[in-house]
Amino acid sequence: MTAESTAGSQPESVRHDIVLSEQEASIGVSRVIERSGKRLEVKVPARTRTGQTIRLRNAMRITDGRDGDILVVVRVQTSAGGVLVVTDASFENEVLKSPIPVLVDFWAPWCGPCRVLAPVTEKLSGEYAGRVKFCKLNVDENRLASQRYQVMSIPTVMMFRKGRIADMSVGAVSEGELRKKVEALV
């Protein structure tokens, strides 16, 4: 038996990461993941912790037409440098019903300009703590909010005041430009 045929006889596993807010992890949620143009619902149980893996047995048969599991690795993130991770499920409470103005960074992990903007929002979140809430929403994992606000390009930064859009920018912006927008928000 050759190495190639040995490797081919073993079922494959692929990894898919999802990020949950602390609230979602504590109560449990359903998330939709996409692979090879197919969508699968993942039920994350209550009290899930960072690093836990949910095994979708033989899910690759549905997505790729071959045997194999999809391993969904959960990361629970309450905040990163003062930036709160929001989802479709938490968007209304964290953003629209917030008593203070909110900046939302619509992003994706594969987006280069999004990674450039992230340290800027993290820095500003510390400077404006208590006056402006800074949030980030992964557009790949949270399509409802992205569609509702017609986010066509990322990064898109939207600023909300009393549940309404007060300002927005598309693309990576400098710290100075973003600071001006945040100042106008407060």
pLDDT in tens, 104-126: 999 999 999 999 999 999 899 88
β pairing state of 156-161 and 164-170: antiparallel
Helix or strand holding residue 62 (H, E): helix 59-63
Residue 9: is its pLDDT beyond 80? no
Same domain, 69 and 90: no
**Does residue 7 belong to any structural domain of this protein?**
no
Q: Is residue 179 classed as helix, strand or coil in its secondary structure?
A: helix
Q: Work out the mean pLDDT of the chain and round it to a whole number.
A: 87
- Count CA atoms within 13 Å of residue 76 on its CB side: 18
- How many angstroms separate the CA atoms of 122 and 129, rounded? 11
User: 76, 103, 127 — which closes off a domain?
Assistant: 76
Which structure tokens are listed for 99?
Answer: 């008593």
- Which structure tokens are listed for 61? 């048969």
**Residue type at 99 in one-letter notation:** P
The pLDDT, as a whole number, for residue 6 is 40
What percent of the chain is modeled with pLDDT above 90? 53
Rounded to whole angstroms, the Cα distance separating 119 from 117 reads 6
> Are 86 and 59 within one domain?
no
What is the gyration radius of the CA atoms in the chain, in angstroms? 19
Q: 155 falls in which pLDDT band (50, 70, 90)?
A: very high
The residue from 59, 76, 93 where one domain ends is 76
Task: Mark whether 88 and 163 lie in a shared domain.
Answer: yes
Question: Which three-class secondary structure state does DSSP give residue 10?
Answer: coil
Structure letter (DSSP) for residue 141: T
Within a domain: 4: no
pTM: 0.60
pLDDT in tens, 29-75: 888 888 888 889 999 998 888 778 999 999 999 988 999 999 988 87
Range of the domain at 47: 12-76
For residue 20, what is the domain's CATH number? 2.60.260.20
Catalytic machinery residues: 111, 114
Nearest-angstrom CA–CA distance, 183 and 181 = 5
For strands 83-85 and 133-138, give the pairing: parallel
